[in-house]
Every structure is written in C-alpha cells, then in structure tokens.
C-alpha cells in the first residue's frame, strides 16, 4: 500500500524516534507491548489481594455477606458510573490523538481528569462515612460492631473484610492518583502540540493503564459492596 | 612515553567506557552496558556485605556454645545474610549485570527497549538497598528472610517494616528489568535472529523475565500487607481476628519458590554458553534446553507448597506439590544431560570459565538431587528446618548460581573491560571456590540429616567436628572470592588487551570490538546461521 509507505517514511524521520529503534512502528509496538506486560504485573499485584480475598470469603462466607451490608452501594454504584464514563472520555481522547484533533484531545483529557477526581472525592466521602460509623478497624477507637445489622458472632471476621476493603480500595485509589498524574503530564504535552497522527504512543499506553484501573474497580465493586445483598434479591 | 601518563582507555578506539567521562555520565547514562556496570558494582558491594554476615554465622558456629553473639543477635545476622544475599545479590545478579550487558548485544540490538526504565530500575534497586541498609544500621531484623507471620506482623521488635519496604522497592527494579527483557526479545531482534536462533543465555533470561514479571508483584503485595498489618496492628493475616498466618506462607512462596528459578535460570543460560564454547561444539539439544527454561518457569509456579509440608496443609495438597516438585526436576535434568552430551567428543579446553562450568554441573546436580529428597513428603518431614535444607539451598545458589556468575564474569570480562584477567590466578581461584564450597556445605548435609536444626546459635557438642569443617571451608571460600576481586581490578589497568574474540566464541557479542561502542554495532547485523555453529566451522576446517 503506497499510503502506508509514505507514512513510514515520515515516521522514520520523526523527532520522537528514540535512537535505538529502527522506525516508529517498532517503537510504537514496543511501547504498547511494554504497557501490556506492565499491566500483567498489575494483574498479579491486585491478584494477590483478590486471591487472599477469595480464600477468606470461602472460609467465612456468612460473615463476609453480613459485613458487606455496611458498605454503601449508592457510593459504589455512583463511582462505577463515574469510572465507566471516564473510560469513555479516555477512549475518545485516544481516538482524538489518532486523528490529530488537538482541541478535542485536550478536552477529553480534562474530562477524564474531572471524572477521576470525582471518583476520589466520592471515595473520600465514603471513607468519612466509615470513619463516623466506627467501621475503620485500622485505627483503635474507630471500630465498633453493634446493632441489629451486626451479628455478634462475626465481630472478628468483619474486621478482616474491612481490612480487605481499605487495603484494596486504598491501593486502587493510589493507582487513580498515579493515573491523574499521568493525565496531567499528557495534558501538558498535548497543549504543546506533541501528539500528531504519527506520534500518539503516550496517549495510547496511558489509555491502557487508565482502562485497567477502571476494570479493577469493576471487580472490586461487586466483591466488596454487593455480596451481602444476594439473599434480598432472591 | 607520554602515553604512559594517560588513561590506557584513551589510547584505544572509542567505546562505551571512554565515550564520556565524569560521574554524571555514569549516573545519568541510559546505555545498557554502563547500567550493567553500575549494577555489577552495586551487587558486588551487597555480596561482600552478605558475605560478612555469612562469616559471622560461621564464626559463631565454630563452637557448640552460643558464645560469640547472643541468640537475638544471631537471629538478626542470619536474617540479614538471607535478605541481602537473596534480594540484593542473587535476584539481580546475572540478569541485571550480564543480562543487561548481553541480551541486546546477543540479539543484535542497540539497547534495551526502554533504556530510561532500565536506569530507573537501577535507582529503584539502590533505594531498596538503602532501606535494607538502614534496617541493618538501625538495629537489624530477626524474622528470617521469609518474614513469616505472625512473628513478623506482631511479635518481632525489630525493623521489619524498614526491611520489608526495602525488599518491596527492590522488587520493582526486578520487575522493570524483566519487562524490559521481554519487550526487547520480542521486538528488537536483528534481521535473521529468529526465536530458534536466540542464544540460550537469552532464552534463559527471557524465561527468568517471565517469572520476574509474574511472580514479583505477588511478593510485593504480600510484603505490603505485612507492613500495613504491622503499622496498624491489625490486618488480614492476624490470627486474633480469624486471619490465617499460613496464607502468608502460601503467598510468600508463590513468589519465592519461582524466585529461586529467577536465581538459577540465568546461571543455566551462562553454562549453556560456556560449555558449547569450550567444547568447540554446537550445543546438543538446543530446542530442549530452550524449552526446558520455559518449562522450569511454568512448572516452577506450581510447586510452592513443598516449602510448607509441615504446616498442617492438606495431605492431598502435599501429594500434589510433591508430584509437581518431581516434575520440575525433569527440565533441569534435561539441561544437565544436554550439557554433558555437548561435551561428549568435544575438544574441551580448561580455561577458567570452563572450570566454573564444570563446578556448576557437579554442584548443581547435587543441589538438584537433594531437592528431590526434600520434595519427597516423608523425607522432608525428617529434615525440615535442618541444615540439610541449608546445604541443599546453598548447593543450588552458591554451587550453582554464584559459580555460574563467576564463570560469566571471567568469560565476558574481556568483552566488558577489553582486558584479559590473569589465567593462572583465575584457574587457581576457580579450584579454590570448588574446594572451599564443598568443605563448607557438604558437612551440612550430614549435620542436617543427623538432626542439627537451622537458625540456632548453639548446638549439641557431638556436631562440633563437622561444624568446624564447615567454618574452615567458609574461610577458604572467602579467600577464593577475594582473589578474583584483586586480580580483576588489577587487570583493568595491567591486563592484556583482549581483542574482539579472545575465546573464538560464536555469538553476536563477540563480533564487535571489546569494549563495544555505545551503540554496540556500527551496522545492524544480519544473522544467517544457527546459534553455536562451532561444528560447521570444524567441518570446513577438516574438509
């Protein structure tokens, strides 16, 4: 195809071609492949926690279900929606960078950041609610397991699920913060006009990362918030 | 002559060492060869530090009474020996140094795929090492290198968090190295360098990289959970609230068993290179050796439970892990048989690297076979937590990996520095390593079988003779590692210039000058023959 060859020639002279690559194709393939391998390590990282969660849930299924009732699915659902929309804006940002639509790219990055921030703000309110409810076993004096909703025989195991909740959502929020840092960098680069249809690898790989962090949440939401509601639904 | 006053390097052709000068040119370099040298220096320091701890252990065990240090101090000494040697020497050892230097050169690339991430991995390693050193200086850690809960999370009064943070951080340097290797091998091979033509050292590092990428994140999160549990006094391994401390062991060994393959696979790759070069013969069973590296990487993820036979794990799980442990021995055996077959009717010459290769094959075989004893359920119950385990582990890690590392150091020293080391001293210290090693660790098999438990600073008086032997051997081993340090440093200035290919070896790294230029190859090489085409050369010579 003649067109691709012309594009190849442009790629070969791109100022973004790093010295040790032969051409932009090789560089782009390496960048995206590298991000996929990195995401594999992230799967194993979160997988350690999901694996431990699975072990404990099979050990204490009723306790986990009862504890899950103390999570607020309204917050969780809202955050799920926010993240899915942020994934859409991220995907649109990647598309805009492919097509060289500079303004659209910048706006989509801004929207993605707004939704990412919204997620963290909602998460903050949610943590605050747990704090007020005395459901933070990590800090002495901020844990109590009383009331009709709290079966006394689960007083110990409930703390384990809350530990999982704070560790898993905490590491996830940390990844969101990193993602916001990446988005800020991308926005600065985009405003300088760095990205062209011939060079958009940073947007592409950052998009992969952003979607991955969203997908982790898609698993966290049901496993932490919804397992207690199965009986009510049936 | 005026040139005498100049740095000898400046009189030579431009290369990666004299391309730039000054500390900045090293600390901000993105050249994989310079980063390899940075790693070489850093891990040598950590090796020396770990060696000091080993020396203290052996000095304490010279007498049956716990008289040199008290038991608390002894706990800290063996813990720091393990942490430093495993996480800061053995894990990075061959991949971060020779892998960094050679993988791009062997596949005909100018650099690794992500040079800046490569440099980042070194800084991460240094940061992790600083945390580990801080833990040592502040007062040490006494949990053993395995950080078993609930001791590590609740009861230990030492600097567990500092050490765990150090290991956590250094894990990411390992992950980034592995990531770089995987992408480089997939995307950066020179024209004609097919997967079937990759040198076996590259295959070994590729398999290692898979483990680094898949296993290390799990130990990272596990240690993070331990650290959080220690910081908040509550967490998921806490038995007081129904947590399962054994789960920690499962998660720890899910990484740390494959991690022993991170430590040994690159060594096997080195031996494949050495054996074929010094036998002047193509490797026997190339695809089997390459495939067995992948086999070890894959099966190695399924055997972690053999560290936990006595934890009260289900008997059926024990059977499963025992069976798979037998299976993972098969690919290792394939390698040993293939190396032996490669040497069969080869024109073997006995240079220093080959002596180390011989040492590796013998010692690794002993280490591997005693691993089968430990993988057998009944025998393992008898020797669990005895010196038998210590001896087995050191036969694989020192007799295997460190010996391979020394072999690699001598084999590629001319390429890295452009200078030859003194061959006589090389051979002498290689033999001394072999002797010292066996005198140190063979008695420990017997001690363990007779029932001396590991990790105690005092022992029954009837074990003293064998312990004195072991300590004597350790002294020999210590000297045997000091001699190369001296003559290798000496050779930097006074060694004979090596030339491009002092061994007459095959492989792209030997087609360039020594030391190589910054971009390795002036023209991207085109590969037209299989790896290790020594036999072809012979045929043409004869014909």
Residue A199 phi, psi (nearest 5): -145, 100
**Does residue A174 sit at the B interface (CB-CB below 8 Å)?**
no
The Cα–Cα gap between B179 and A27 comes to 15
**Does residue B220 sit at the A interface (CB-CB below 8 Å)?**
yes
Comparing alpha-carbon positions, the chain B residue that sits nearest to A163 is: B235
Q: Report yes or no on A14 lying in a domain.
A: no
Q: Which of A37, A137, A138 sits opposite B179 (nearest CB)?
A: A37
Q: Which CATH superfamily is domain B32-542 in?
A: Cytochrome c oxidase-like, subunit I domain (1.20.210.10)
Q: List CB contacts (< 8 A) between A46 and chain B.
A: 221
Q: List CB contacts (< 8 A) between A40 and chain B.
A: 213-214
Domain ranges across chain B? 32-542
Q: How far is CA B329 from CA A91, B338, B393, in A?
A: 47, 14, 15
Helix, strand, coil percentages for chain A (3-state, nearest 5):
80, 0, 20
Do B520 and B109 form a contact (C-beta atoms < 8 A)?
yes
Comparing alpha-carbon positions, the chain A residue that sits nearest to B174 is: A41
Q: Encode pLDDT of A22-63 as tens digits.
A: 889 999 999 999 999 999 999 999 999 999 999 999 999 999
Domain containing A100 equals 23-233
Comparing alpha-carbon positions, the chain B residue that sits nearest to A20 is: B110
Say what the pLDDT of residue B536 is: 56
Quote the percentage of chain B above a pLDDT of 90: 91
**What is the dihedral angle through the alpha carbons of B41, B90, B224, A169, rounded to the nearest 10 degrees?**
90
Q: Report yes or no on A10 lying in a domain.
A: no
User: Do the Cβ atoms of B217 and A138 come within 8 Å?
Assistant: no
Q: Which of A19, A33, A37 sits opposite B213 (nearest CB)?
A: A37
pLDDT for B166 beyond 50: yes
Say what the pLDDT of residue B304 is: 95
User: Do the Cβ atoms of B225 and A49 come within 8 Å?
Assistant: yes
Q: Encode pLDDT of B352-368 as tens digits.
A: 999 999 999 999 999 99
Mutate to test the interface with B, among A27, A38, A52, A174 (most CBs of B within 10 A): A52
pLDDT for B272 beyond 80: yes
Mutate to test the interface with A, among B238, B242, B524 (most CBs of A within 10 A): B242
The Cα–Cα gap between B50 and B85 comes to 5
Q: Report yes or no on A118 lying in a domain.
A: yes
Mutate to test the interface with A, among B118, B175, B180, B187 (most CBs of A within 10 A): B187
Total tally of structural domains belonging to chain A:
1
Q: Encode pLDDT of B372-388 as tens digits.
A: 999 999 999 999 999 99
A 70-99 residues with CB < 8 A to B: none
pLDDT for B10 beyond 50: no
> Cα B57 vs. chain centroid, distance in angstroms?
21
Q: Residue A230's pLDDT band (boundaries 50, 70, 90)?
A: low
Residues contacting B543, CB < 8 A, separation 6+: none
Q: List CB contacts (< 8 A) between B246 and chain A.
A: none
Give the A:B interface size as CB pairs under 8 Å: 107
Tokens 């740390």 found at: B256
The Cα–Cα gap between A126 and A121 comes to 9
User: Do the Cβ atoms of B218 and A47 come within 8 Å?
Assistant: yes
Cα R_g (chain B), whole angstroms: 23
Comparing alpha-carbon positions, the chain B residue that sits nearest to A137 is: B234
Among B13, B32, B241, CA closest to A157: B241
Say what the pLDDT of residue B415 is: 96
Q: How far is CA B264 from CA B268, B357, B367, B404, in A?
A: 6, 13, 11, 9
User: Do the Cβ atoms of A40 and B234 come within 8 Å?
Assistant: no
Do B226 and B164 form a contact (C-beta atoms < 8 A)?
yes
Say what the pLDDT of residue A7 is: 45
The Cα–Cα gap between B257 and B265 comes to 13
User: Do the Cβ atoms of A48 and B182 come within 8 Å?
Assistant: no
The Cα–Cα gap between B491 and B416 comes to 12
Do B339 and B361 form a contact (C-beta atoms < 8 A)?
yes
Q: Residue B171's pLDDT band (boundaries 50, 70, 90)?
A: very high
Q: List CB contacts (< 8 A) between A38 and chain B.
A: 179
Mean pLDDT of chain A: 90
Residues contacting A182, CB < 8 A, separation 6+: A206, A209, A210
For residue B399 the two structure tokens come to 């007799």
User: Do the Cβ atoms of A49 and B175 come within 8 Å?
Assistant: no
User: How far does A103 lie from chain B, in Å, by closest CA?
Assistant: 30
Q: Residue B12's pLDDT band (boundaries 50, 70, 90)?
A: low
Q: Report yes or no on A9 lying in a domain.
A: no
User: Do the Cβ atoms of B109 and A140 come within 8 Å?
Assistant: no
User: How far does A163 lie from chain B, in Å, by closest CA?
Assistant: 6
**Does residue B214 sit at the A interface (CB-CB below 8 Å)?**
yes
Quote the percentage of chain A above a pLDDT of 90: 79
Tokens 């929309």 found at: A85
Say what the pLDDT of residue B336 is: 97
Q: List CB contacts (< 8 A) between B519 and chain A.
A: 19-20
**Does residue A44 sit at the B interface (CB-CB below 8 Å)?**
yes
Q: Encode pLDDT of A144-199 as tens digits.
A: 998 888 888 999 999 999 999 999 999 999 999 999 999 999 999 999 999 999 99
Q: Report yes or no on A3 lying in a domain.
A: no
Q: What is the CATH number of the domain that holds A78?
A: 1.20.120.80
User: Do the Cβ atoms of A49 and B221 come within 8 Å?
Assistant: yes
Mean pLDDT of chain B: 93
Q: Report yes or no on A212 lying in a domain.
A: yes
Ramachandran region, residue B453 (left: φ > 0; alpha: ψ -120 to 50; beta: rest): beta
For residue A138 the two structure tokens come to 């990590």
Say what the pLDDT of residue A8 is: 47
The Cα–Cα gap between A75 and B160 comes to 36
Q: Encode pLDDT of B110-158 as tens digits.
A: 999 999 999 999 999 999 999 999 999 999 999 999 999 999 998 999 9
**Does residue A152 sit at the B interface (CB-CB below 8 Å)?**
no
Among B163, B174, B165, CA closest to B79: B163
The Cα–Cα gap between B487 and B151 comes to 44
For residue A3 the two structure tokens come to 């067109």
Q: Encode pLDDT of B184-221 as tens digits.
A: 999 999 999 999 999 999 999 999 999 999 999 999 99
User: How much is the average pLDDT of B158-180?
Assistant: 96
């Amino acid at each position: 195809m003649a067109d691709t060859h012309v594009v190849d020639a442009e790629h070969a002279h791109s100022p973004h071609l790093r010295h040790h690559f032969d051409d932009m194709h090789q560089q782009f393939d390496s960048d995206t492949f590298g991000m996929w391998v990195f995401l594999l390590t992230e799967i194993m990282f979160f997988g350690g926690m999901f694996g431990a969660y699975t072990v404990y849930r099979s050990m204490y299924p009723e306790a986990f279900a009862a504890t899950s009732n103390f999570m607020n699915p309204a917050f969780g659902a809202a955050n799920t929606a926010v993240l899915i929309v942020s994934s859409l804006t991220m995907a649109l940002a990647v598309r805009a960078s492919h097509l060289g639509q500079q303004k659209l790219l910048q706006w989509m990055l801004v929207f993605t950041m707004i939704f990412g921030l919204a997620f963290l703000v909602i998460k903050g309110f949610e943590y605050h609610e747990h704090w007020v409810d005395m459901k933070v076993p990590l800090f002495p004096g901020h844990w109590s397991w009383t009331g009709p909703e709290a079966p006394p025989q689960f007083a110990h195991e409930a703390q384990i699920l809350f530990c999982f909740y704070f560790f898993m959502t905490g590491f996830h929020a940390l990844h969101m913060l990193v993602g916001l840092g990446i988005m800020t960098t991308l926005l600065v680069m985009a405003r300088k006009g760095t990205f062209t249809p011939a060079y958009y690898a940073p947007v592409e790989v950052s998009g992969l990362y952003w979607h991955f962090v969203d997908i982790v949440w898609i698993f966290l939401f049901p496993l932490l918030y919804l397992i207690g509601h199965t009986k009510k639904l049936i | 002559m005026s040139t005498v006053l100049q740095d000898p390097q400046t009189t030579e052709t431009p290369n990666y060492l004299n391309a730039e000068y000054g500390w900045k040119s090293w600390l901000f370099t993105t050249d994989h060869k310079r980063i390899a040298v940075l790693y070489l220096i850093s891990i040598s320091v950590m090796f020396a530090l770990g060696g000091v701890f080993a020396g203290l252990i052996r000095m304490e065990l010279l007498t049956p009474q716990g008289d040199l240090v008290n038991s608390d101090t002894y706990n800290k000494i063996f813990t720091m020996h393990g942490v430093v040697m495993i996480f800061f020497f053995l894990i990075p050892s061959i991949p971060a140094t020779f892998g960094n230097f050679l993988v791009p050169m062997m596949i005909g690339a100018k650099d690794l795929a992500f040079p800046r991430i490569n440099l980042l991995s070194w800084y991460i390693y240094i940061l992790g090492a600083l945390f580990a050193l801080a833990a040592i200086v502040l007062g040490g850690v006494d949990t053993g290198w395995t950080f078993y809960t609930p001791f590590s999370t609740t009861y230990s009064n030492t600097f567990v968090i500092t050490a765990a943070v150090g290991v956590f951080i250094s894990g990411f340097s390992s992950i980034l190295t592995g990531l770089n290797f995987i992408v480089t091998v997939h995307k950066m091979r020179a024209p004609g360098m097919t997967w079937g033509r990759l040198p076996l050292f590259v295959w070994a590092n590729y398999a290692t990289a898979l483990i680094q990428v898949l296993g290390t994140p799990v130990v990272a999160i596990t240690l993070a959970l331990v650290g959080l549990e220690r910081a908040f006094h509550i967490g998921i391994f806490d038995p007081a609230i129904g947590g399962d401390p054994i789960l920690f062991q499962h998660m720890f060994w899910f990484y740390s068993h494959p991690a022993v393959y991170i430590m040994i696979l690159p060594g096997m790759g080195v031996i494949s290179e050495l054996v074929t070069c010094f036998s002047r013969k193509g490797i026997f069973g190339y695809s089997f050796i390459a495939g067995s590296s992948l086999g070890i990487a894959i099966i190695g993820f399924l055997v972690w439970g053999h560290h936990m036979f006595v934890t009260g794990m289900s008997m059926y799980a024990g059977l499963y892990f025992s069976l798979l442990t037998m299976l993972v021995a098969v690919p290792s055996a394939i390698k040993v048989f293939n190396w032996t077959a490669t040497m069969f009717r080869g024109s073997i010459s006995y240079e220093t690297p080959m002596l180390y290769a011989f040492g590796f094959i013998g010692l690794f075989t002993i280490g591997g076979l005693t691993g089968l004893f430990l993988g057998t359920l009944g025998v393992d119950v008898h020797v669990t937590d005895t010196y038998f385990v210590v001896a087995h582990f050191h036969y694989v890690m020192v007799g295997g990996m460190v010996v391979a590392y020394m072999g690699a150091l001598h084999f590629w020293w001319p390429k890295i520095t452009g200078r030859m080391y003194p061959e006589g001293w090389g051979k002498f210290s290689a033999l001394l390593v072999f002797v010292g090693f066996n005198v140190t660790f063979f008695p420990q098999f017997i001690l363990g079988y007779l029932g001396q438990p590991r990790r105690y600073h005092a022992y029954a008086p009837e074990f003293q003779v064998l312990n004195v032997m072991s300590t004597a051997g350790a002294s020999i081993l210590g000297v045997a590692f000091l001699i190369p340090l001296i003559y290798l440093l000496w050779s930097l200035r006074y060694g004979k210039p090596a030339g491009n290919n002092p061994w007459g070896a095959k492989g792209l790294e030997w087609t360039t000058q020594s030391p190589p230029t910054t971009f390795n190859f002036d023209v991207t090489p085109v590969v037209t023959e299989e790896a290790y085409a020594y036999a072809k050369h012979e045929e043409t010579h004869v014909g």
